[in-house]
Amino acid sequence: MTFAVVGTTGAVGRELLSLLAERGIPAGSLRALASERSAGTEVAYGNGRMVVEELTDESFTGIDIALFSAGADTARRFAPAATAAGATVIDNSSAFRMDPEVPLVVPEINGELITGAPRSTESTGSVASANAGRIIANPNCSAIILVTALNPLQRVFGIERLVVSTYQAASGAGDAAMRELAEQSRAVLAGDTPLPEVFAEPCAFNVFSHDTAVDADTGRNVEEQKVIEETRKIFDQADLRMSVTCIRVPVMRAHDESVNVTLATAASEAQVRGALAAAAGVRIVDDRAANDFPTSLKASGGNDVLVGRIRPDQSQGAGNGRWLGFDLFIAGDQLRKGAALNALQIADLVAARAN
Amino acid sequence: MTFAVVGTTGAVGRELLSLLAERGIPAGSLRALASERSAGTEVAYGNGRMVVEELTDESFTGIDIALFSAGADTARRFAPAATAAGATVIDNSSAFRMDPEVPLVVPEINGELITGAPRSTESTGSVASANAGRIIANPNCSAIILVTALNPLQRVFGIERLVVSTYQAASGAGDAAMRELAEQSRAVLAGDTPLPEVFAEPCAFNVFSHDTAVDADTGRNVEEQKVIEETRKIFDQADLRMSVTCIRVPVMRAHDESVNVTLATAASEAQVRGALAAAAGVRIVDDRAANDFPTSLKASGGNDVLVGRIRPDQSQGAGNGRWLGFDLFIAGDQLRKGAALNALQIADLVAARAN
Asked if B181 and B202 touch (Cβ cutoff 8 Å), the reply is no
Burial class of residue A129 (count of CB atoms within 10 Å of its CB; 0-12, 13-18, 19+): exposed
Which residues are CB-neighbours of B80 under 8 A, at least 6 positions away? none
Asked if B68 and B50 touch (Cβ cutoff 8 Å), the reply is no
Asked if B80 and B130 touch (Cβ cutoff 8 Å), the reply is no
Report which DSSP code applies to A110: H
B291: left (phi over 0), alpha (psi -120 to 50) or beta: left
**How far apart (Å, rounded) are the C-alpha atoms in residues B271 and A128?**
48
- Please list the ranges in chain A whose pLDDT falls under 50: 118-133
Which residues are CB-neighbours of A182 under 8 A, at least 6 positions away? B189
What's the whole-number mean pLDDT along residues B163-187? 98
What's the whole-number mean pLDDT along residues B130-148? 85
Asked if B208 and B201 touch (Cβ cutoff 8 Å), the reply is yes
CB contact under 8 A, A216 and B314: no
Asked if A152 and A261 touch (Cβ cutoff 8 Å), the reply is no
Under the banding of pLDDT at 50, 70 and 90, the label for residue B140 is: very high
> Which residues of chain B does A189 touch, with a Cβ-Cβ cutoff of 8 Å?
182, 185-186, 189
In what order do the strands lie in the sheet containing B3-6? B53-54, B30-34, B3-6, B65-68, B88-91, B135-137
**The predicted structure's pLDDT at residue B276:** 98
Which residues are CB-neighbours of A220 under 8 A, at least 6 positions away? A214, A228, A244, B311
CB contact under 8 A, A295 and B207: yes
Name the residue among B124, B70, B133 with its Cα closest to residue B99.
B133
Query: Among this protein's residues, is B255 annotated catalytic?
Result: yes
**The predicted structure's pLDDT at residue B7:** 97
**The predicted structure's pLDDT at residue B182:** 98
Does the CA dihedral A108-A112-A113-A119 come out positive or negative? Answer: positive
**How far apart (Å, rounded) are the C-alpha atoms in residues B232 and B227?**
8
User: ipTM of this predicted complex?
Assistant: 0.94
Residues B305-341: pLDDT tens digits?
A: 999 999 999 999 878 899 999 999 999 999 999 999 9
Under the banding of pLDDT at 50, 70 and 90, the label for residue B131 is: very low
To 5 degrees, how large is the angle CA A270–CA A275–CA A280?
145
Residue B120 has pLDDT above 80, yes or no: no
Which residues are CB-neighbours of A37 under 8 A, at least 6 positions away? none
Which of B213, B221, B295 has its CB closest to that of A201?
Answer: B295
Residue B117 has pLDDT above 60, yes or no: no
* End-to-end CA separation in angstroms for chain A: 10
Name the residue among A131, A112, A92 with its Cα closest to residue A230.
A92
Active-site residue identified among B203, B210, B246, B255: B255
**The predicted structure's pLDDT at residue B320:** 87
Query: Among this protein's residues, is B210 annotated catalytic?
Result: no
**How far apart (Å, rounded) are the C-alpha atoms in residues A305 and A285?**
10
pTM here is 0.95
For B115, list phi and psi in degrees, rounded to 5: -110, 20
**The predicted structure's pLDDT at residue B343:** 98
Mutation site, A183, A185, A243, A256, interface B, largest B CB count within 10 A: A243
A166 DSSP β-pair partners: A257
